[in-house]
């Protein structure tokens, strides 16, 4: 992991980290802060409808376009846009073409809001 005692001044290059994997909807931890995982994700297609009852869900689009669907509307995000889904709000991220994201969640938070259906987070 970056910024460890062995590497106290290591920068994280997000573009490089995104070249290290190809799977979609599989978050990769690139750093942490204050018990939060900072992750990069490649996404394409629709994720599942889900809710995080105890935490907000932070999305920053690095490349591409992302739509976050809600039961009563949607938000469209392009490169450079961010959106925070408030805790307790059901949502479904959708990417018609591959999108690259920076996502921040509390460490240990399942990406689906449910440990039984969550994708394992891997450290890059």
pTM of this structure: 0.87
54 in any annotated domain: yes
4 in any annotated domain: no
1 in any annotated domain: no
Total number of domains constituting the chain: 1
pLDDT digits (tens, 9 = 90+) for 6-65: 777 889 999 999 999 999 999 999 999 999 999 999 999 999 999 999 999 999 999 999
Q: Which backbone phi and psi does 95 adopt, to 5 degrees?
A: -130, 115
pLDDT digits (tens, 9 = 90+) for 63-110: 999 999 999 999 999 999 999 999 999 999 999 999 999 999 988 766
Could you tell me the CATH number of the domain that includes residue 114?
2.60.120.10
104 in any annotated domain: yes
- What the block records as the tokens of 96 is 């018609």
Provide the residue range defining the domain that includes 36. Answer: 14-123
3 in any annotated domain: no
Q: Which backbone phi and psi does 24 adopt, to 5 degrees?
A: -95, 150
Secondary structure (3-state) at 104: strand
61 in any annotated domain: yes
- What the block records as the tokens of 84 is 């925070």
9 in any annotated domain: no
- Distances 45 to 8, 22, 63, 101 between C-alpha atoms, Å: 37, 14, 15, 14
Specify which residues 103 forms β-bridges with: 39, 59
């Amino acid at each position: 992991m970056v910024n460890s005692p062995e590497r106290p001044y290591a920068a994280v290059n997000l573009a490089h980290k995104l070249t290290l994997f190809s799977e979609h909807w599989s978050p990769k931890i690139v750093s942490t802060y204050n018990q939060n995982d900072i992750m990069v994700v490649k996404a394409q297609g629709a994720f599942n409808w889900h809710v995080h009852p105890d935490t907000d869900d932070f999305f920053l689009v690095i490349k591409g376009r992302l739509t976050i669907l809600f039961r009563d509307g949607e938000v469209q995000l392009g490169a450079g846009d961010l959106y925070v889904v408030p805790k307790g709000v059901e949502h479904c991220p959708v990417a018609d073409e591959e999108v690259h994201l920076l996502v921040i969640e509390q460490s240990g938070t399942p990406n689906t809001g449910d440990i039984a259906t969550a994708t394992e987070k891997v450290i890059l």
